[in-house]
Structure 1
Amino acid sequence: MVAALGACTDASDDVSGDTEPVTEDVASEGGEGGEGGEGGEGGEGGEGTEYSKGEQANADFQDQLGGAELLTALKEGGHVIYFRHAQTERDYADQADPSMSLDDCETQRKLNDVGIQQSKDIGVAFEAKAIPVGDVISSDYCRAWQTADLAFGRHEKNSKLNFLPFEEYTDAQVEEMQANVMPLLIAVPDSGENTVIVGHDDIFEAATGIYPAPQGLAYVLTPDGAGGFELVANMLPEEWADL
């Protein structure tokens, strides 16, 4: 799957830049210029009816591990689990809203009742399955750190997981988001632990070429210790309990 990822190229007519990692053939496009729909599908700002390249990459993704094998691997630790925050009550590109303040949750999109329950259920499943969790890292957005808190009871904010304040991104801005998040994705967790990251769709897409939908979806990555990682599985919120 994904090894060391290179620079992003090409501009996109969608809500974010079109990212094309140089060293791999995973494509990207669209993103959290708008998370579509009450059900949480799409990017944070809205998308059209046709799949972007990033959405297609998400749809085409094949798990390398699943079920009991995935659970065994997670119990051994060494993975980064990147969650797109749980479902929100409204869909709009609040990062581009000049009245939005990271210090004021009332100016941001909020988790809805479904998203709150998704977050709690994820935490219950991790505890029931005895999946070890080390660092829990979130963006500064309330919907991200609240997902982390509801699921894992703690979080450490890292602004590298934040959006740039635009609804549409240039190539350079996509590359900046990629450069921001990659160190978090390739960092090997402490022995016997997994790192949890709770962030957003565009940020993940910038690094992997995959647009993670719907909200609450997680990707399990295994850093290789040499500046790359393998994408091994994706998980919907309700799937953790069934591992």
Structure 2
Amino acid sequence: MLPAIARRMMLRVIPLVLVVVVSAPALAQAHAGLPPRDLVAFIREGGYIIFIRHAQTERDYADQVDAVMGDCSTQRTLSEAGWRRAILIGSAFDRLGIPVGDVISSEYCRSWQTAALAFGRYQTNSNLNFEPAEDYTPVQLEAMRSRMSFLLSHNPGAGLNTILIGHDDPFEAATGIYPEPMGVAFVIRPTMAGEFEVLGSIPPDGWNDIDD
């Protein structure tokens, strides 16, 4: 199955799809898909970026065109299952002794709700936001790619992990990887300035299978 951005754009802007496919590998090296247990062993040491797509919402639709930041009534919000999942993710970090530094969320309600429930604190950063469109222009895709790549390549320093909580399209624009389902976590290793390596992912319910 094609990634979501590619599916939406292929019939209308074929050259744009090629830009995403060609430019993303220059920033994100192909990941080996390490198993969750190995990923946790890495992040217990700190020094990684952990991107978490927000937890489940009541409905799944593109709200970024009309969403007003600060007004949750104009946006998708977490479902009851999403609230429970966010709490369980945070509990897994505590149980597994994963050190957490900065917790950075997009300005969308479903993202900071996930951050608050999982980690009890967060700061918002508009660089994690969507562009206000459903069918993105090349300029909009490049803007999301650039902003997200900067965050994914920023070294958190020794002993701590930076948590990014955001959305599917910006992450896909930067990595070429569509993050599904909601609540999935990706472990990122920053390399040099502007570059990073995606080591693998942990599904929302995968934390339960990892021993202390």
Using the size of structure 1 for normalisation, the TM-score is 0.75
Matched-pair contact (CA < 8 Å) for 1:65–1:232: no
Q: Provide the C-alpha distance between the structure 2 equivalents of 1:142 and 1:152, rounded to a whole number of angstroms.
A: 15
Q: Which runs of 4+ in 1 moved over 4 A?
A: none
Q: Provide the C-alpha distance between the structure 2 equivalents of 1:239 and 1:14, rounded to a whole number of angstroms.
A: 37
Gaps of 5+ in 1: 1-10, 28-56
SS in 1 for 2:23: coil
Instruction: Return the offset for 1:226.
Output: 3.7
How many percent identity over aligned positions?
Answer: 49
2:46 paired residue among 64, 77, 81: 77
Change in CA separation of 1:75 and 1:237 when aligned onto 2, cut-off 3 Å:
same
Return the letter of the residue paired with 2:90.
Answer: G
Instruction: Return the offset for 1:65.
Output: 4.6
Matches within 5 A, 1:181-220: 181-220=148-187
Using the size of structure 2 for normalisation, the TM-score is 0.86
SS in 2 for 1:230: strand
1:113 paired residue among 49, 57, 80: 80
Q: Provide the C-alpha distance between the structure 1 equivalents of 2:124 and 2:27, rounded to a whole number of angstroms.
A: 28
2:59 paired residue among 90, 93, 116: 90
Q: Provide the C-alpha distance between the structure 1 equivalents of 2:78 and 2:11, rounded to a whole number of angstroms.
A: 29
How many pairs does the alignment contain? 197
Matched-pair contact (CA < 8 Å) for 1:121–1:237: no
Instruction: Return the offset for 1:242.
Output: 2.1
Residue of structure 2 in register with 1:159 after alignment: 126
Instruction: Return the offset for 1:14.
Output: 7.8
Matched-pair contact (CA < 8 Å) for 1:137–1:198: yes
Give the superposed CA RMSD: 2.3
Matched-pair contact (CA < 8 Å) for 1:140–1:159: yes
Gaps of 5+ in 2: 1-8
Q: If each structure's helix is expressed as a fraction of its own residues, which one has the higher value?
A: 2
Change in CA separation of 1:173 and 1:129 when aligned onto 2, cut-off 3 Å:
same
Residue of structure 2 in register with 1:22 after alignment: 23
